[in-house]
Amino acid sequence: MSRYLEARRETLPPAVTDLAEQLAEAGYKVTGPRLAVLKAATALRGAFSVHELEQWLIARGESPGIASIFRTVRLLSDLNLLQRIHGLDDCHRYSLGKGHGHHLVCTGCGAMERFEDCGVQSLIQQLEQRTGYRISAHLVELFGLCPRCLAASAA
Amino acid sequence: MSRYLEARRETLPPAVTDLAEQLAEAGYKVTGPRLAVLKAATALRGAFSVHELEQWLIARGESPGIASIFRTVRLLSDLNLLQRIHGLDDCHRYSLGKGHGHHLVCTGCGAMERFEDCGVQSLIQQLEQRTGYRISAHLVELFGLCPRCLAASAA
DNA sequence: TTCATAGTTGAGAGATAATATCAATAAAAT
DNA sequence: ATTTTATTGATATTATCTCTCAACTATGAA
């Protein structure tokens, strides 16, 4: 495995070591900058932007160069460990999570719920028949107010 | 109505005058640059980027400043006459069309089908119950190969 | 038709998101 | 411990898009 990771395993949250192990398994080196980004992404939870990752890291005095933050985000995305969130306007947010997933995003505060089953299978079948396309991917994102923002707006 | 539009109605495609009338009705002036962008968007059909609009216009020697192209795209979008297409990667394409709509985009050639009914109502109800969110908007986009690209890839 | 006015335009500066370059560095294999 | 090779970071660059503001023009009123 990764010597670098083993040396600091004790000091890292399990979620971070877990992700780092997947980087190693995929043949990538486990480096300081990459661990830093993983720490930030894990700590921020939910939907975060590259800028927010950077701010979190700067605040702790351990920010890699911005290029490496982008590179790590891209790498996690390529390995399907990170999903890009497509907002109605904003398309520059991400969420940790394995494989295919969808998001329900609060337009008030940015909170987010992930869900797996989006029930578009029958729509896909229907459209394949009607249009002759072979559909291989889909994007489903939902927007609204979370319970807290809902309560606040009612007051 | 718009004096400017009436004076050139004869020289414009109906799809363009139709859109221009909607600008006028909404209280916006019908100007040369705006008509030019409408012509480009109508001519390009399907999914287009701002850059493609600009290229089309430059090729005909009637391109407004890039700022005005962006402004017109934004205006059409605000009036719900233009939809932004969210690709898996690319989020900078648009499609003419009124109101709420979804897209089935060919990952091979960029061709595109619009569809209205996306059948996520029951998913929305389900998630509202489970999460307590009040869902007010959604994004559904599908990707695959169009019949032509499918045939080409089989060969 | 002409005029006044208020909305619109365009050039260029600037903001933001992201990538490219490449010498220096550090993790991993030996 | 040394070698090898991936990775990093500073900087420049590109792409997308917005801002500013003087000049302009479509529109409504006269």
pLDDT digits (tens, 9 = 90+) for B66-113: 999 999 999 999 999 999 999 888 889 999 988 888 999 898 887 889
What residue spans in chain A does CATH classification 1.10.10.10 cover? 1-98
What would the CATH number be for the domain defined by A1-98? 1.10.10.10
* Model pLDDT, residue B100: 82
* Model pLDDT, residue A148: 94
Q: How many whole angstroms separate alpha carbon B78 and alpha carbon A85?
A: 22
Q: What is the mean pLDDT of residues B45-65?
A: 94
Interface residues, strand D, Cβ cutoff 7 Å: A 28-29, 31-34, 64-68, 71-72; B 2-5, 24, 29-32, 49-51, 66-67, 70-71, 74, 91-92
| B73 in Cβ contact with B50 (< 8 Å) | yes
Domain B100-155 has CATH 3.40.50.920: no
pLDDT digits (tens, 9 = 90+) for A4-44: 999 999 999 999 999 999 999 999 999 999 999 999 999 99
* Model pLDDT, residue A17: 97
Q: What is the mean pLDDT of residues B127-137?
A: 95
Top CATH class, B1-99:
mainly alpha
| B66 in Cβ contact with B43 (< 8 Å) | no
Q: Which of B44, B104, B100, B98 is nearest to B69 (CA)?
A: B44
Q: How many whole angstroms separate alpha carbon A52 and alpha carbon A50?
A: 5
Helix (H, G, I), strand (E, B) or coil at B42: helix
Instruction: Say if residue B4's pLDDT is above 90.
Output: yes
Best mutation target, A104, A118, A121, to test chain B (most B CBs within 10 A): A104
Whether the CB of A153 is below 8 Å from some CB of chain B: the reply is no
Q: Which nucleotide is nearest to A4 (CA to C1')?
A: C27
What residue spans in chain B does CATH classification 3.30.1490.190 cover? 100-155
pLDDT higher for B45 or B150?
Answer: B150
Spans of chain A, pLDDT less than 50: none
Q: What is the mean pLDDT of chain B?
A: 93
* Model pLDDT, residue B23: 97
Q: Which of B64, B94, B74 is nearest to B28 (CA)?
A: B74
Instruction: Say if residue B39's pLDDT is above 90.
Output: yes
Residues of chain A found within 8 Å of residue B135, distances taken between Cβ atoms: 104, 142-144
What residue spans in chain B does CATH classification 1.10.10.10 cover? 1-99
